[in-house]
Structures are given as structure tokens and as C-alpha cells.
Structure 1
Amino acid sequence: MMKALQLSKELEGSLPSLSLTNLPTPTPTLDCALIKIQYSCIHPSDRYNSIGGFPKTSFPRIPGRDYSGTVIALGRDSVDMRSQWIGKTVYGTGGAELGFRMDGPHAQYCVVLEKLLVEKPTSLSMIQAATVGVPFTTALRCLTRARVQADDIVLVLGAKGAVGSSVVQVAQAMGCKRVLTATRNKLDNPDVLLDWDIDVEFLGKIPSLTDGKGVNVVIDTIGKLDIMNAAIHALAVKGRYAWIAAPRGGAPTKLSLNIFEAYRKEIELIGCNSGLATIDDVAEEMQKLTQFFERTLIQARDESSMNVVNLDDAVEKGYKISPEKQTVLKMF
């Protein structure tokens, strides 16, 4: 048996409830591996999933997306695969599957597909490795879909957040010419400050930072319409705007776009949804990111910035609060 968090529903139309329970330790099926989970992060998407935010989630379901741990069993009896993976320390994330349609890693053991197995880089601690999957794969996905190139100037909206800071690092690792930052906090010393008249700030800063040409790529991790309108206007000719967030809580979601300007400049709007990432997408992204980590081109946040919570306390101290520090579950 193992300890696990489990989302369940009493009625089809009701909200899910989250509880700590004891479940049989799963057995890996063909092309799968059983991982003894050491740490697993609670991302905002995990909390959103726990209150019924994702219609695709099936119940009952163990939540969680990112993890670090050790491979202890394989579903197929292959000598080569066993020698390659049994006992190896791995890390990863599950894209649109783990925590939604497959049981996730907020448990002491988790079954994952073999193609998702990635050995943990030595540059990452076990705690750090359990936090990087969602933010860094989302960052890479945005930059890839925006087709960033070495001579691009990239503007990152929300550059101090989990995804935004990952975008800054990955864009630099990919060799982008320059990466500009935009945040709400003056103490961040951003290139663009987002706490006052947005249009004036963009108009006053972007031309001088780009020789009057505008930015080639905007990656938006905030999703506020006033910022979005100003940033789209700051795009260069053939600029690309990729975003992962939208207003919530009943706020307006319809964007006012200057069609004349958009087609004259041939700009592109690119929505990015990590929830649509396939297993193959995630496997490719994690391999690419692992190379960046191994070459120390990108780095995870320091452990001191994380709040480590025991699995026994996960519901009250992990899911029901949203601390400033990133929350990581310790399984044993």
C-alpha cells in the first residue's frame, strides 16, 4: 500500500474533494515504469484542478504533474531496459496526462510511460528537479511556437513569475539577441514597468530599447487586456505574440485589435496551452531542457525559495493555501 492524495466526486455535477488516503501501490503495465516519488511540486494548475477547474480530469484521480524520484520497476521484461533504468534517479512532468487522465505523482509511487523517463541532471537537487517540469516546458513551448531566432529581441511579460523567469532563461539559452523584462514591481528593475500608465510606459521604453523597430517576440504570462493591447502595438514588423494566460473571475476577455496595424505589420497571435501538450511533446521538451540544465545554461530556483511540506500535511498546508514560496511535497 502507499499514501496518496486523491480527488473524488460524490455526484457527477459536484465539485471534487481532496483527501489523503491509502491505495494499492500501482503495477506498471507494458511500456510503463513505476517510480518511487521523492518530491512533487504543487503548481497553481494542481490547485485549480483540485477545485474542478479542468473538465478533462476524470475521477477518482491522484493529482500532480511534476516529480523527482527513482525507477523501481518496469512493465516489460527487457534486460536492456532494466539495466538502463532500474535504480536511476529521474525527473519530469506529464503534460496533458498526469493528474488529469492518468494518476499523477502526488503519491508515494507513480506509473509513467517509459518515453517520459529522463535522468535527473546532476546540476539539480531532488527538490529542485520536482519543480521545473511545468514552468520550463511551458516556457520552451511558447518560445518554440513563436519560432524565436538568434537575432530576435524577446519581451517577457511577468518575467519574475515561475513561467516568466523560465522564459527569460530559456530564451537566453536558445541564443536570442536580447531578452527584455516587464514586471509590476519597480524593485525588479525591469526594462518595462507595468504598475502605471501602460501605454505611456511602452511608448516611452520600447522604441529606445529596440532602435525604433519594436520587439520581435512577446511572451505574455500575465494575460491582462490593457497590457496585451500595449504589447501588441510594440511588436516589430512580422512580430509574434504568444500568451499562456487570460483574465479570470468574470473580467472581460475580448481583445480589441487594430486590424489595419496587424496586417500592415504582418503580426501573429499565438495561443499556448500546456494542457494540450502530448506525451511526445513533453518527452522532446524535457530532453531539450535537460541538455540546457546539464550545460548550466538554465537553472532552477534555489531551495531556500521553496516551502517543503510532508505528504501527510499536503491538504491543509499545501493545497488549501497559496504561499509566496513554491510548495513541494515530500513523500517519505
Structure 2
Amino acid sequence: MLALVLEQRVSNDGAKELSYDLRELPLPSLEEEERSSQVEVASQHHQQEESGHAVIKVYASAIHPSDLLNSRGGFPYTTFQQTGTSNVGHQGPYRVLGRDLSGVVQSVSRGASLSAQTWINKQVVCTSGYDLSFSRHGTSAQYVVLPLSALVEKPSSLSWSQAALLGVPLQTASLMIQRAQIQAYEEGRQQQKLDMLVLGCSGNVGRMLVELLRSTGHNIITAARGTGAMLNLASAAGADEGSPSWTEQLKELTGSKGADIIFDCTGNFEVQSASLCVLAKFGKFLFIAAPKGGAPGSTVLGIDMMRMYRLGQSLLGVNSLLYDVAQANAQLNHSLALIDHTKPLLAQEEIEEVPLRLAKQTYDLLNGKQGRAGKKYCIVFDEAH
């Protein structure tokens, strides 16, 4: 089968070098996966939620910012599978890239339960957790082996690429809400209606977050750089985070108290610093990325600890890579149930589909920051058309 792999080579001076390209690989084996999983389970002293695995025929595999970062060696915990000499000569240790997929279940483990066998021929989606493309081969391949406990049924109203692009952003948005411990607002109860600010509402995670927050009944304020429709994505008041006065806008919208919960999906140093100044008493600030744009190479954000202490505020980091593939997909499945799939979060026109044979060139393009503005990229396989 054909796959996009990240390869590690050691130069003559001992330095490790990374590169990515398409590679022909053997078809994945359920038996081999079962053996390696048994060793892993024994070494970690835990049991899987549901035993057994499935072979997935991949129809679409997303290209997320974290996939690009992984292709550049940005994750120190990515491991590489050893390999030997093949019919194309010596090849270095490798890891198949890709965190999210949509596809069809081809087969399940021999001896699997009757309920597990019902997955055969079903359309599924899957997201990575800390496994896929890091310690287990990822989704940018014609076939992938996954634990049965990681399978999530694909919404029938979504195209292959629309479904594949949901995983990481939707799971991350779900985790942000979970960490914020938001209780849904109900009229008539003695309960404060919260003012919640979503920074970066036009991005992948931001728009998923806004959609999930709708069901809470609280006030949603969205902020994105520039002007246009994205400022009103939540059918609520919008603010332009690129404007010097956006913090004043926020104060006006919240009766001067500031936001009770701030969800930062930007990772922007200036935006993060400014937003902390308009966080309300007992407010929570949740973020999914270290600050960029401060001192060169620094991920440090200056915080007024005295102010935060006096106002009883909380700073919460949210990282989707703290969960294994089964846990991540349980979160994804829960979130999918909360979304109206008759109105896709990603219109098909927003998606740039690329065939697997052009995956390397597309990674090169996006790593060079030359992708088409406003487009989400997804690798699609011939069967998806």
C-alpha cells in the first residue's frame, strides 16, 4: 500500500535528519497488531476498553497544523518503526503521518464478538489521541489498523473530507468545554448567565467551539482578526481581536466586568496578554497553544499573579495529546452527537482536496506557508470520488 511517511536517517556525523515522502509499505496485519498490543497492554498493566482491532480502508485523511509540525520534527515523542532492506533498497526508520481519517471498516480481528463484527462495511471517522502518527502509524495511508474501541460512526450527511477534518479540532473544542466545567444555563434557576469569549473563532478549533457552546445557553462573544461574517459566527456580538480597542468593546459587551470564561484558540502573544486583562472575577482562561509572537523562541507569557490571585482566576491548558486513541474517540463521539450535521461546520467549498500522490508536494507547500488562504487541506483517495 502507499503511505506518506516521516523518515528518520542518521548522517555520517551522527546527526538525525528527518524527511517525508510517499513509500510503498506492506498491507497492515491484524495478527501483527494483536501481538504488539498484547505486549503493550502487559507492559502498561491495563486492559483495553474493547479488545480487538479493525482494518480501515482510508477514504480521506486531514492535514492539520499539528500534522505539519510533526513532519518538521516538532513533537519530541514521535517514535519511529525500524525497517530493513526492501525491494527499493535500504530505508530508514519511519512513521506514517496523519492524525484524522474517514473510511470504511474492511475487517475485524478473528474471534471478535458479534457486536464487533457489525462494524464491517460501516463508514467511520477516527482521531489520533497521542497514538496515531506518534507511536502508532497514522492515517495518511491506504489502510490503517485501529483498536475497535477507537471506531466512531461517520455522520452520513458529511462528505469524506468534511468528516476527516472534524477530529482533532472537534475533540480539542470538546476538551476545552470539559475543562471549563460549564453548567448549562436554564431560565428560572438561580444561576448566573456567563459571558464567554472565543478568541480565534474563525479557526478550526474556534468554530467547533462556538458550535458546541450554543447548547449551553450562555452568552457567546466571538473575536477574530479583520471584519466580515466570521465576527458573527455565533449569532452573538463580535469583536475584532486585531483592533487596538477590542478589549474596550468586550468591556462594553459585558457591562465592564469582563469575560467569565475566555477560550483562546489563537496562541498569539499580544492577544493572550490583552485578554487576561479583561478576565472577570473567578474567570477561567483556557488555551490550546503556547504564545507565539513574544521574545524570539520564547513560550513565556507574563502574568500578573497578584491580580489573578486577588480575583480568584484560573489558567487552564488544554492538550488533546494527553489522551490515547480510544479516549480521544470517545470524546469525539460525544461531541458529534451535539452537532447539527444538516449544517456542516465546514462547507465543501472551503476544503482543498488533494490526491495521495500529491501529498508530499502539498506538505511542502503548506510548510512553506504558501497554501490558499481560508482553505482546509485534506488528502483524498481514489475511492472517495
Checking the alignment, whether the CA contact within 8 Å between 2:196 and 2:220 is kept in structure 1 is yes
Q: 1:254 maps to which residue? A: 300
Q: In structure 2, do the counterparts of structure 1 residues 83 and 278 end up closer, same or farther at CA, with 3 Å as the change threshold?
A: closer
Distance 1:47 1:319 in 2: 9
Checking the alignment, whether the CA contact within 8 Å between 1:65 and 1:93 is kept in structure 2 is yes
SS at match of 1:169: helix
> Structure 1, residues 1-34: CA drift from partner, whole Å, max 9, x if none?
x111111111174231111111111012342111
Distance 1:14 1:160 in 2: 37
Where has structure 1 moved over 3 Å in runs of 4 or more? 295-299
Q: 2:359 maps to which residue? A: 314
Distance 2:98 2:364 in 1: 11
SS at match of 1:218: strand
Distance 1:269 1:317 in 2: 36
Q: 2:104 maps to which residue? A: 70
SS at match of 2:17: coil
Q: 2:377 maps to which residue? A: 327
Shift of 1:79: 4.7
Aligned pairs for 1:147-162 within 5 A: 147-150=181-184, 151-162=193-204
Is 2:186 the counterpart of 1:165? no
Q: For 1:36, which of 57, 72, 76 is the aligned residue?
A: 57
Indicate the RMSD between aligned Cα atoms, in angstroms.
1.9
Residue segments in structure 2 that go unaligned for 5+ positions in a row: 35-51, 81-93, 185-192, 233-237
Q: For 2:273, which of 220, 229, 253 is the aligned residue?
A: 229
- Structure-1-length-normalised TM-score: 0.92
Q: For 2:317, which of 242, 258, 271 is the aligned residue?
A: 271
Percent identity over the alignment is 33
Structure whose alpha-carbon radius of gyration is higher: 2
Distance 2:303 2:227 in 1: 29
Q: In structure 2, do the counterparts of structure 1 residues 153 and 196 end up closer, same or farther at CA, with 3 Å as the change threshold?
A: closer
Distance 2:154 2:210 in 1: 22
Q: 2:37 maps to which residue? A: none
Distance 1:103 1:40 in 2: 13
Checking the alignment, whether the CA contact within 8 Å between 2:132 and 2:325 is kept in structure 1 is no
Shift of 1:88: 0.5
Aligned pairs for 1:274-313 within 5 A: 274-293=320-339, 295-296=340-341, 299-313=344-358
| Partner AA of 1:163 in structure 2 | V
Checking the alignment, whether the CA contact within 8 Å between 1:27 and 1:75 is kept in structure 2 is no
Q: For 1:46, which of 67, 76, 79 is the aligned residue?
A: 67
| Partner AA of 2:55 in structure 1 | L
Q: For 2:121, which of 67, 87, 90 is the aligned residue?
A: 87
Distance 2:312 2:178 in 1: 19
- Structure-2-length-normalised TM-score: 0.80
Q: 1:20 maps to which residue? A: 22
| Partner AA of 1:9 in structure 2 | Q
Checking the alignment, whether the CA contact within 8 Å between 1:155 and 1:181 is kept in structure 2 is yes
Distance 1:211 1:149 in 2: 22
Checking the alignment, whether the CA contact within 8 Å between 2:2 and 2:25 is kept in structure 1 is yes
Q: 2:140 maps to which residue? A: 106
SS at match of 2:153: coil
> Structure 1, residues 151-198: CA drift from partner, whole Å, max 9, x if none?
33211111101111111111113x14111111111224462212232x
Checking the alignment, whether the CA contact within 8 Å between 1:124 and 1:300 is kept in structure 2 is no
Distance 1:121 1:42 in 2: 20
Shift of 1:113: 1.1
| Partner AA of 1:77 in structure 2 | G
Shift of 1:216: 1.4
SS at match of 1:186: coil
Q: In structure 2, do the counterparts of structure 1 residues 252 and 4 end up closer, same or farther at CA, with 3 Å as the change threshold?
A: closer
Matched length? 326
Distance 1:276 1:240 in 2: 20
Q: In structure 2, do the counterparts of structure 1 residues 230 and 298 end up closer, same or farther at CA, with 3 Å as the change threshold?
A: farther
SS at match of 2:118: helix
Residue segments in structure 1 that go unaligned for 5+ positions in a row: none
Shift of 1:248: 4.1
Q: 1:3 maps to which residue? A: 2
Is 2:229 the counterpart of 1:184? no
